[in-house]
Amino acid sequence: METRPLGATGQESTVATFGAIALNWLEQEGANQMVEHVLDHGVNHFDVAPTYGDAELKLGPKLRQHREDIFLGCKTQERDYEGAAHKLERSLDRLGVDTIDLYQIHGLEYESELDEITGDDGALAAIREAKDDGKVDHVGLTSHGNPGLIRDAIDRIDDLETLMFPLNPVVAGKDDDEHDYEAVLERAEEEDIGTLGIKAFAKGSWPPTSDLPEKDRPYANWYEPVDTPEEIRDRFDFAASQGLSTVVTPGDPKLVSMVLDAAGRYDGMDEATQRSLVEQSRHDDSPVPEQLHH
């Protein structure tokens, strides 16, 4: 599988990163098999979080067995020093490892949170301290929030090394500032910050729970995903050809194999085909009036 530099971290990440939330839906035995399967495909970057149910615990055994082959990303939703320091210890404990390669502020959404994490008593201070203690190697941030806020974070966090944010044809087809993650990607490239793409396989929101109860959703993803091998391949190729360092696999274990297959075969995507996907999702989006043309 193709690898790319993860910004200036020194890490060469495979073009697919394993989103370990998928393990939460499996029994331990299945989780072990899934990790072996992912490693067999050559994937060397894993991403997990304490908020993904049991994912940390289920990743633990195989992670410890293959610790050298895995660049491990984890996250914290804590914003203050105490909380972040505590949750980091808890993750190390649950994963059963001594270090986390990349520790990320998880799901930044508001400007006030940016104030808090960058403050003297903020989460970043705890992560930097953990870095000095050798428990963490690199600092990152994840957000599906306002692209403007993410760009502010780049400006305000000098030692930021990676960013995780959404990128797919639906997002790329929208012109407004609220969806301008391409501008984030551009800024990140300028600053040599590694980029991880999420929601690459999202087709749209799930129907309201009144029409489709959560338990009846066919996939354990945050969003309704594309689910045929062709669509998955198109979506992977699209995301990987935008200039991201790596693309995170979707949350449902049923889709992971198809994505790994696509990642293994990735060979670029020409621009006319990228536009074709953007144009498709632009018209799939219900607010667009019916048109004969493109």
Ligand X SMILES: C[S@@+](CC[C@H](N)C(=O)[O-])C[C@H]1O[C@@H](n2cnc3c(N)ncnc32)[C@H](O)[C@@H]1O
Q: Which parts of this chain interact with another protein (CB under 8 A)?
A: 172-176, 178, 270-273, 275-280, 282-285, 287-294
Q: Minimum Å distance from CB 106 to another protein?
A: 25
Contacts of 247 (CB under 8 A, 6+ apart): 15, 16, 17, 196, 197, 200, 236, 239, 240, 263
132, interface contact from ligand X, another protein, none, CB < 5-8 Å by kind: none
Q: Minimum Å distance from CB 263 to another protein?
A: 22
Task: Identify the sign of the CA torsion 132, 133, 134, 138.
Answer: negative
Cβ distance to another protein smaller for residue 187 or 282: 282
What dihedral do alpha carbons 214, 247, 48, 22 form, nearest 10°?
A: 40
H/E stretch holding 166: strand 162-166
Q: Minimum Å distance from CB 293 to ligand X?
A: 5
CA distance 215 to 210: 12
Cβ distance to ligand X smaller for residue 215 or 294: 294
What dihedral do alpha carbons 56, 61, 65, 71 form, nearest 10°?
A: -10
Give the interface with ligand X as residue ranges (CB under 6 A). 292-293
- What the block records as the tokens of 192 is 């040599």
Q: Minimum Å distance from CB 292 to ligand X?
A: 5
CA distance 18 to 196: 11
267, interface contact from another protein, ligand X, none, CB < 5-8 Å by kind: none
112, interface contact from ligand X, another protein, none, CB < 5-8 Å by kind: none
Cβ distance to ligand X smaller for residue 215 or 293: 293
134, interface contact from another protein, ligand X, none, CB < 5-8 Å by kind: none
Q: Minimum Å distance from CB 2 to another protein?
A: 23
